Structure 1
Amino acid sequence: MECGYYDRDLCRSCTVIEVPYERQLDRKQRLVRDLVDPHGAPRWLEPVASAEAGFRNKAKMVVAGTVGAPTLGILDGARGTDLRDCPLYPEPLTRALHALAEFVARVRLLPYDVARRRGELKHLLVTVNPEGRLMVRFVLRSTRQLPKIRDSMDLLRELVPAASVVSVNLQPEHKAVIEGPEEILLTERSELVMSVNGIGLRVRPRSFFQTNTAVTERLYAQAADWVRAADPASVWDLYCGVGGFALHVADPAREVVGTEISEEAVASARDTARSLGLPDSGPGSVRFLADDAAATPADLPGTPELAIVNPPRRGLDTSLCAWLEGSPVRHAVYSSCNARTLARDLARMPSLRPVEARLLDMFPHTGHYEVAVLLRRA
């Protein structure tokens, strides 16, 4: 992939962009195999490659520069580097970033100055769905410039007509945390619908969703294939997020429970389940609970026949590994963004052996990836 920002040494986020993509994919495959194979030598399916450009569905832009000439991108020290034309973004997202920069300038929103700890607008977070509709979030230090945005919503709709959800997030602290706990909606709609394999997943402003929609489709489809073959009567989806895995494995003869610590994500998952007409109890049900995944086994009656786990980079809690190891769970699907913690967790659960695995390249031109593994009790 060609990138003018990289060539001009303005952005080095894509750390392996100079490596041919096939070689990038091969390196990741060898890395995850070396870490997983000692725990069971599963059958490795063909890696899932990504498009090399235009694959990111979300832009997290630092706002810097001046009132009349803002930059949207990253910081080089205290100075902003504008990255609106980053080739990782699809065309609808790039177009929206240019329009939002114009909006910020015309409304005269004051960019936050990191060095001086002055100003208001810290970040713009923009998500695009497969149909080109957008979620736009302004991250402000305080509510001082909220009235300017609220009073200029007609201009925002004119400049960014694809914006379905618009909100303000408040992050008052001076630290490297992108967003804060308070969200103020400025539109009637509160959720962006992300269509994945025909399922319209609802995503609220503070809900996590994978950044590569096309590869996410393949990830959910792979998990659904494994679950279909195992044919369990009950499934628990731990760390369920907005319900992607749980909703993909729903079946009239199966009870599915998803748990997630984020109440926003659980609300989104419940909304999607309702839109699909899925009951929340009995056969064919899909139920979502706001709970810590590590605590879930103690909070729910019984034991599922199959468990899905999709933890953050730190991997599973020791207590959850111990519960899975000692439980009668027959199969597990482990989706990981860090094969090192995956390998550590496999060592903690020696009774659950990897039988099939697949690398899915969510993040081309970097060292990051997703790997999914089907585990079966020995």
Structure 2
Amino acid sequence: MAKIQAPVQRGQVVHVTAADLTHEGKGVAKVDGYPLFIEGMLPDEAGEVEVTKLNKGYGFAQLKKLEQASPERVDPPCPVYDECGGCQVQHLSYNGQMDMKYNQVRGVIDRIAKLPDVPVHPVLGMDEPWRYRNKAQVPVGLSGGRIVAGFYKKRSHDIIDMTECLIQHEESDAIIQRVKDVCAANGVMPYDEQRHKGVLRHVMARIGYQTGEKMAVLITRTSELPNAKEIIDGIRAAVPGITSIVQNVNPDKTNVIFGPTTKTLYGEDVIYDTIGGVKFAISARSFYQVNPVQTEVLYNKALQYAGLTGEETVIDAYCGIGTISLFLAQKAKQVYGVEIVPQAIEDARQNAELNGITNAYFEAGKAEEVIPNWYKQGIKPDVIVVDPPRKGCDEALLATILKMKPKKVVYVSCNPGTLARDLRILEDGGYRTREVQPVDMFPQTVHVEAVAVLELM
């Protein structure tokens, strides 16, 4: 194995000044041109760091002593921020976070999409960038003989027992604590992932942000929940107004959270919430955006970019439970939604019925297979909306878009890097990117969403 040529050695302490941030929120400093990535360091900060790992073109270091702080540095309000891996940039002011996320999107649009002249607008942030998440799911374990519940420590499966998380809805914190306490009082043993023993694996809370409805989900290894009646009664007494108590059974030795069987122990199978006047039924396993305030901002921008007049046929690839589709259907002539998860399509159909929307059709399958079949049936979209997973659009779907030639493509992205890659492919196929709007869906983390609009030349 060739020796890594670097101007520093592992374990060496060096004095550096950070000049940039990575997309993971790490500070970037250079020693004789060799980049070091330093967790917790911000641009324009100087200090001593210890080199922890060397790679061929870059290394990692740990901040030992901060000598000059950035004016954008703030004290993280979360007491377990340094241990927990859930947030990455609580130590950066919210304005600083907006700048970081803008630079992340601008950078990949310039570097990967090679579109330096395309406008990237300032990030649309939140007035109140805390307590925004409507869903919390935490692992449960045993520590010192007592039940603990919370997020994992960074790079480990050790659970941090926490009473609150500052980016979760307050009601979620309360539900998780009460479920933990009630289960402990009724002798329900937490899951031991090493020995594959115990009962309670995870607790999940879902909140209807607009409706106030509450759901508690107990994810168990066993189908039998010991002392089930006492647990149900205990949760109902401890969480006033709870709408739904659900059990999901996952008997497998796996890191996957949900198992195949879900049963309602009390109340309704779903809770309801609204985004922009559209009502959604949310089950324990539904995919539903976790920040409903910013989801409305994002979807309104997508709707604006689609420029619908009521005469258009729209295809929504990766439609999920129909959130964007039903938004678009209010302004379009006809919307067709496709999603690979059959249960999501069932949810989408039910949500359309719930809202009395009759001009939205949903089909389960791979977008890159279903959409060409629609094309053969004579369905010719004026607008295609894509909202793919982090890996971006499937190559076959992009090829299909280029073949179908809709007048507009509206691209909603949760990963700026794959957005930029796909914009380049669409540009090379005859489209022009008009503008890109980043939206902060996940304050205090490094993640940023963006929506772009392209027109056929």
Asked whether the two chains share a fold, i.e. TM above 0.5, the reply is: yes
Change (3 A) 1:232 1:69: farther
Cα drift, residue 322 of structure 1: 0.6
Change (3 A) 1:230 1:198: closer
Are 2:393 and 1:320 equivalent residues in the alignment?
no
- Retained in 1: the 8 A contact 2:288–2:321? yes
The alignment partner of 1:45 has SS state of coil
Instruction: Please list the CA deviations of residues 334-354 of structure 1 after superposition, one character each: whole Å capped at 9, or x if unmatched.
Output: 111111111111222222221
Are 2:188 and 1:113 equivalent residues in the alignment?
no
For 1:44, give the aligned amino acid: V
The alignment partner of 1:168 has SS state of strand
Moved more, 232-241 or 185-194: 185-194
- Correspondent of 1:25 among 98, 121, 124: 98
TM-score, with structure 2 as normaliser: 0.76
Alignment correspondent of 1:175 = 254
Instruction: Please list the CA deviations of residues 25-67 of structure 1 after superposition, one character each: whole Å capped at 9, or x if unmatched.
Output: 1111111122224247433334211332111111111111269
Alignment correspondent of 2:206 = 127
The alignment partner of 1:249 has SS state of helix
Runs of 4+ in 1 over 6 A off after TM superposition: none
- Retained in 2: the 8 A contact 1:68–1:106? no
* Structure 1 segment 216-231 matched on structure 2, within 5 A: 216-229=295-308
Are 2:221 and 1:141 equivalent residues in the alignment?
yes
Cα drift, residue 135 of structure 1: 2.1
Are 2:128 and 1:48 equivalent residues in the alignment?
no
* Structure 1 segment 209-358 matched on structure 2, within 5 A: 209-229=288-308, 233-251=312-330, 254-279=333-358, 285-300=359-374, 301=377, 302-350=379-427, 351-358=430-437
Cα drift, residue 78 of structure 1: 5.5
Instruction: Please list the CA deviations of residues 49-89 of structure 1 after superposition, one character each: whole Å capped at 9, or x if unmatched.
Output: 13321111111111112698321113445643212311112
Alignment correspondent of 2:69 = none
Change (3 A) 1:150 1:255: farther
- Retained in 1: the 8 A contact 2:431–2:455? yes
- Retained in 1: the 8 A contact 2:372–2:400? no
TM-score, with structure 1 as normaliser: 0.91
For 1:115, give the aligned amino acid: Q
Change (3 A) 1:212 1:253: closer
Instruction: Please list the CA deviations of residues 138-158 of structure 1 after superposition, one character each: whole Å capped at 9, or x if unmatched.
Output: 11112132x533563233222
Whichever structure has more helix as a proportion of its residues is: 1
Gaps of 5+ in 1: 280-284
- Retained in 2: the 8 A contact 1:203–1:242? no
- Retained in 1: the 8 A contact 2:326–2:357? no
- Correspondent of 1:3 among 64, 78, 81: 78
What is the rounded CA distance, in whole Å, between the counterparts of 1:320 and 1:208 in structure 2?
22
> For the aligned residues, what is the CA RMSD?
2.1
The alignment partner of 1:81 has SS state of coil
Higher relative CO (Cα under 8 Å, sequence separation at least 6) belongs to 1
What is the number of equivalent residue pairs in this alignment?
A: 370
- Retained in 1: the 8 A contact 2:85–2:152? no
User: Percent identity at matched positions?
Assistant: 29
Gaps of 5+ in 2: 1-75
Change (3 A) 1:252 1:36: closer
